[in-house]
Chain A
Amino acid sequence: MRNGSMIQPRFRVVRESWCTSCGRCIRECSFGVHTRDSRTNALKADSSKCVDCQRCVVFCPADALYIEENPNRMHPSAMWGEDTRNEIYRQAETGGVLLSSMGSPSGSVPRYFPRLLINASQVTNPSIDPLREPMETLTFIGRGPESIERDRDGKLRDNLPPHLEMKVPVMFAAMSYGAVSLSVHKALAMAAEELGTYWNTGEGGLHRDLYKYGKNTIVQVASGRFGVHADYLMAGAAVEIKIGQGAKPGIGGHLTGAKIKGDIARTRMVPEGIDAISPAPHHDIYSIEDLRQLVSMIKEATDYTKPVIVKVAAVHNIAPIASGIARSGADIIAIDGFRGGTGAAPVRIRDSAGIPLELALAAVDQRLRDEHIRSRVSIIASGSIQSSSDAAKAIALGADAVSIGTAALCALGCHLCAACHTGRCAWGIATQDEELEKRLDPEKGAERLCNLIRAWKREIEEIMGGMGINSIEALRGNRLALRGAGLTQKELDVLGIRHAGE
């Protein structure tokens, strides 16, 4: 038994015969997999330490490395999967709550986006070529005006409450400084400014150097209230109250003291080296009335100049919850689905709690329409938006805009190895190690993010053009533009769409 553990290494690092022994892999691996044998000078790999982050593979100048799953298999059982058994061994060895990161990898809960099909124009109304004709992706989110008001001369009075204006209906999801590195925050902020969209601080506060990106920043207020003070609230374009997160609905956050040092402690406004706990609920919010109070407090502290977002995880009664939020004075509801990412979450919660975004989104949009309060709030959808077509489908299901976290991190180099909680991210993303963080150049990162969103924007334009519509507004809540394939009648009913062929 290796180190007294029954758990076999999950991956195996394989070195091809043409390896030049240059040692680049030793420098790149932050988990200490690769070493050089001092006697023979040959490179060795300790596969038990490998998290399959692909850093060494990508950077090997000779293309001489690959990582495979451990070919060893456990005694076959259709009932007891290998992961299940390994988890039991892990808990039997440690007595701990299983902790992992990123969105749920579980394949047993359906993803609906791939089963939603988009309409396209044929004969009866012409499709539009976005290269030739104007196509509007400008999106406004926030509370709609209660009524149309005119002055004495009959001119329209601008009574629109504060809102956000986005050149493309895609923003960057909340990821806190501490969970991700400052380089990630810089890259997101620069990209948001360049693209005319927004990035979100997450709950760890806003680094002093990034206040200059305020007009493209959404500042978050979570239960730990880290880094929340009057200047912070005023610094952003909007304030988000984080109630829940799709990866861990009902669960708080826990940043260990080891990660809280230097600028992170300063930005979170907590002492160095001491754990930072976000309680599961806000202990000043035990009801919709209390939520209304926090919304009002924030509006009062920001002179009613910022829209307030309330972010919740997609859970069973999401429609009435959203109705309550819409009535709390919030301007925007952010719904984070089952597959949303995280820097650390208990595995059982991540893989079992909450519901898929698609169902939640459709249910909320329908409920708010039924209650005639849909125009009071905008909806931001998140939780594994993987492509421009996912974004377009989410908008057709009722979202005003989407936000992307994992996809943005992938653009920055994330390979989804789910080792965020170790703090040793080899790509400089989920780490506070100074040397590792340097691996992510914020400017290059911002450029990659801009490329990604620009490509998505073009694709969204193509999708809309193909349908024969020329603005996001015409796509929003346009469920006639969607058909389901291989879905049950119940699923179709909740999604509010018809089956393909109907």
Chain B
Amino acid sequence: MRRYDAAAMRPADLRKEIKRCGESVLEIVNCCGERYLGCGMRHTSLHITGTPGNALGAFLDGGTIIVDGNAQDATGDTMNSGVIAINGSAGDAAGYAMRGGKLYIHGNAGYRAGVNMKAYGGVSPTLIIGGRSGSFLGEYLAGGTIIVLGIGCPEHSQLTGFFCGNGMYNGRIYLRTTEIPTGFSPHLLQRRISREEKESDLRPVLTEFAAMFGENVNELLSGDFILIEPDPENRYKEMYAAI
């Protein structure tokens, strides 16, 4: 494993090194706000200690990014495949328009997490937020799965801010709570999921998440989950009248 000290390098040189290294495993230490790390990366595994800057793993197309620390805004923006795991919290717009791969955030996520995610051709993105998320979670969701676990939050508490899932027309949002998000859109449906659904739909993805961050999957699966989906009877196209 090659090791780079981010504090001792220019960010541009660090990014070039990551690109140059191809299919290898890199360790980056002392990260402090360096942006665009792993942008468009395909094969490399990055292990980052510290706080990488905005747009970590944007357009990610394979490879793995593990962060011991927090991440800033636009983590995994428009990512196509690969894995990003943040053992801390993430800023705003995490996983914007991601189409595949996995984005795991152990702590909280800021505003606009998972906006405009979409599934395609048998590939489906997964965004798991261990703590809470800010407002606008999963707006315009067009596919994929978002799970918010509320680890450490009191039972039955609000796990997202306002406008959760507004404008979504495909995909699923699971919240580990019984509290319906504030200002819940009339275009959406929500229901508590069954034990069987938890086992079949959530256990496989949460097992990996739990293993990644040393959580107990059975604990994560305990408690009630609500599932938010678009209402097929109440879509948006009826809004228009062609002339």
Residues of A within 8 A of B (CB): 86-87, 90-91, 93-100, 223-225, 228-231, 233, 254, 256, 265-266, 269-271, 274-277, 279, 283-284, 290, 293, 296-297, 300-303, 346-347, 421-422
Residues of B near A422 (CB, < 8 A) are 242
Question: What 0/1 pattern do residues 56 to 86 of B give for CB contact below 8 A with A?
Answer: 0011010000000000011001101000000
- 19 further A-B contacts with Cβ under 8 Å, apart from A297-B55, A297-B77, A300-B39, are A90-B241, A223-B116, A224-B97, A225-B116, A229-B59, A230-B42, A233-B40, A233-B59, A271-B119, A271-B170, A275-B236, A277-B140, A279-B115, A283-B93, A284-B73, A284-B93, A293-B54, A293-B55, A300-B36
When distances are taken between beta carbons in the complex, the residues of chain A under 8 Å from B120 are 265, 269-271
Residue pair B240, A97 in contact (C-beta under 8 Å): yes
In the complex, A86→B120 CA distance in Å?
41
Contact partners of A274 in chain B: CB under 8 A = 142-143, 169-170
B8 at the interface (CB under 8 A from A): no
Question: B118 within 8 Å of A by Cβ?
Answer: yes
Q: Does B239 contact A (CB under 8 A)?
A: yes
- B121 on the A face (CB < 8 A): yes
Asked whether B140 lies within 8 Å of A279 as measured between CB atoms, the reply is yes
Give Cα A151 to B139, complex, Å: 53
The interface residues of chain A lying within 8 Å CB-to-CB of B40 are: 230, 233, 300-302
The distance in angstroms between the C-alpha atoms of A223 and B93, with both chains bound, is: 13
Q: Which residues does chain B contribute within 8 Å of A254, judged by CB atoms?
A: 236-237
Point out the residues of chain A lying under 8 angstroms from B36, CB to CB.
296-297, 300
Please report the C-alpha to C-alpha distance between residue A233 and residue B99 in the assembled complex, in whole angstroms: 15
Decide yes or no whether B131 CB sits under 8 A from chain A. Answer: no
The answer to whether the Cβ of B112 comes within 8 Å of any Cβ in the partner chain is yes
Decide: B39 and A277 in contact? CB cutoff 8 A: no
Chain B residues with Cβ under 8 A from A284's Cβ? Answer: 73-74, 77, 93, 96-97, 112, 115
Count of residues in B whose CB is under 8 Å from the partner chain: 45
Nearest chain B CB to A250's CB is how many angstroms away?
16
Interface of A is mostly: mixed
A269 touching B39 by the CB < 8 A rule? Answer: no
Using known A-B contacts A224-B116, A233-B40, determine if residue A301 contacts B237 with beta carbons closer than 8 Å: no
Q: How far is the CA of A269 from the CA of B169 in the complex (A)?
A: 16
Tell me if B237 and A256 are in contact (CB < 8 A). Answer: yes
The listed residue (A90, A256, A276, A277) touching B167 by CB distance below 8 A is: A277
Q: How far is the CA of A290 from the CA of B80 in the complex (A)?
A: 21
Which residue of chain A lies nearest to B115 when distances are taken between CB atoms in the complex?
Answer: A283
The 8 Å CB contact of B59, one of A99, A256, A301, is A301
* Chain B residues closer than 8 Å to A296, beta-carbon distance: 35-36, 55
For the complex, is B15 an interface residue (Cβ under 8 Å from A)?
Answer: yes
Q: How far is the CA of A79 from the CA of B182 in the complex (A)?
A: 46
Query: What is the minimal beta-carbon distance from A57 to any residue of chain B, in angstroms?
Result: 22
Structural contact, A277 and B142, CB atoms closer than 8 A: yes
Q: A233-B59, A271-B143, A301-B40 in contact; A98/B243 too (CB < 8 A)?
A: yes
Are the C-beta atoms of B112 and A283 separated by less than 8 Å? yes
Cβ of B238 < 8 Å from any Cβ of A?
yes
Judge whether A230 and B80 touch: CB under 8 Å.
yes
B74–A279 contact, CB under 8 A? no
Contact of B139 among A96, A230, A283 (CB under 8 A): A283
Q: How many whole Å from A223's CB to the nearest CB in chain B?
A: 7
Which residue of A87, A223, A284, A347 has the most chain B CB atoms within 10 A of its CB atom? A284
The residue of chain A having its C-beta at the shortest distance from the C-beta of B240 within the complex is A99
**A99 with B241: in contact, given A276-B142, A301-B40 (CB under 8 Å)?**
yes
- What residues on A are CB-neighbors of B235 within 8 Å? 275
B80: which A residues are within 8 A, CB to CB? 229-230
Task: Give chain A nearest CB distance to B13 CB in angstroms.
Answer: 13
Shortest A350–chain B CB gap in Å is 11
**Top 6 A-B residue pairs of the complex, sorted by shortest distance between their CB atoms:** A96-B241, A301-B40, A225-B97, A300-B39, A94-B241, A269-B120
Candidate in B19, B116, B139, B167 with the most chain A CB atoms within 10 angstroms: B116
Give the nearest-CB partner of A268 in chain B: B120
In chain B, what residue has the closest Cβ to A90?
A: B241
Beta-carbon nearest neighbor of A283 in chain B = B115
Judged by a CB distance under 8 angstroms, whether B136 is at the interface is yes
What residue in chain B is nearest A221 (Cβ atoms)? B78
Question: Which residues of chain B have C-beta atoms less than 8 A from A229's C-beta?
Answer: 59, 61, 78, 80, 99
What are the residues of chain A within 8 A of B58 when measuring CB–CB? 297, 300-301
Contact pattern, B 159-190, Cβ under 8 Å of A = 1, otherwise 0: 00000000101100000000000000000000
* A/B interface sample: 7 pairs, CB < 8 A: A98-B241, A229-B78, A230-B59, A283-B139, A296-B36, A297-B77, A347-B243
| Complex alpha-carbon distance, A231 and B61, angstroms | 9
Taking CB atoms and an 8 Å cut-off, the chain B residues in 188-243 that contact chain A are: 235-243
A91 to B19, CA, bound (A): 56
> Contact at B93–A266, with CB atoms within 8 Å?
no
- Chain A nearest CB from B117 CB (Å) reads 10
A99 touches B243 (CB 8 A): yes
Nearest CB of A to B212, in Å: 24
Taking CB atoms, residues of chain B closer than 8 Å to A269 are: 99, 118, 120-121
Kindly identify, within residues 15 to 74 of chain B, every residue whose CB is under 8 Å from any CB belonging to chain A: 15, 19, 35-36, 39-40, 42, 54-55, 58-59, 61, 73-74
From known contacts A270-B118, A277-B142, A296-B35, infer whether A96 and B239 are also in contact, taking CB-CB under 8 Å: yes
Least CB distance, A172 to chain B, in whole angstroms:
25
| B142 CB contacts on chain A under 8 angstroms | 270-271, 274, 276-277
A contact residues around B237 at 8 Å (CB): 254, 256, 275
Q: Which residues on B sit within 8 Å (CB–CB) of A228?
A: 59, 78, 97
- Shortest C-beta distance, A219 to chain B (Å), equals 13
Contacting A at CB under 8 A, from B93-114, are 93, 96-97, 99, 112
Minimum C-beta distance from A188 to chain B (A): 25
Q: Decide if A99 touches B39 in the complex (CB within 8 Å).
A: no
Task: Verify A266–B136 contact, CB threshold 8 A.
Answer: no
Q: Which residues of B sit under 8 angstroms from A96, Cβ to Cβ?
A: 238-241
Query: Could you tell me if B99 and A303 are in contact, using CB atoms closer than 8 angstroms?
Result: no
The answer for the CA separation of A276 and B35 in the assembled complex, in Å, is 30
- Across the interface, which residues of B come within 8 angstroms of A297, CB to CB? 36, 39, 55, 58-59, 74, 77
Cα separation A275 to B35 with both chains bound (whole Å): 34
Q: Do residues B77 and A300 form an inter-chain contact, with CB atoms below 8 A?
A: no
Chain A residue with Cβ nearest B139: A283
- Residues of chain B within 8 A (CB-CB) of A266 are 121
Mark B121-161 against chain A: 1 for CB-CB distance below 8 A, else 0.
10000000000000010011011000000000000000000
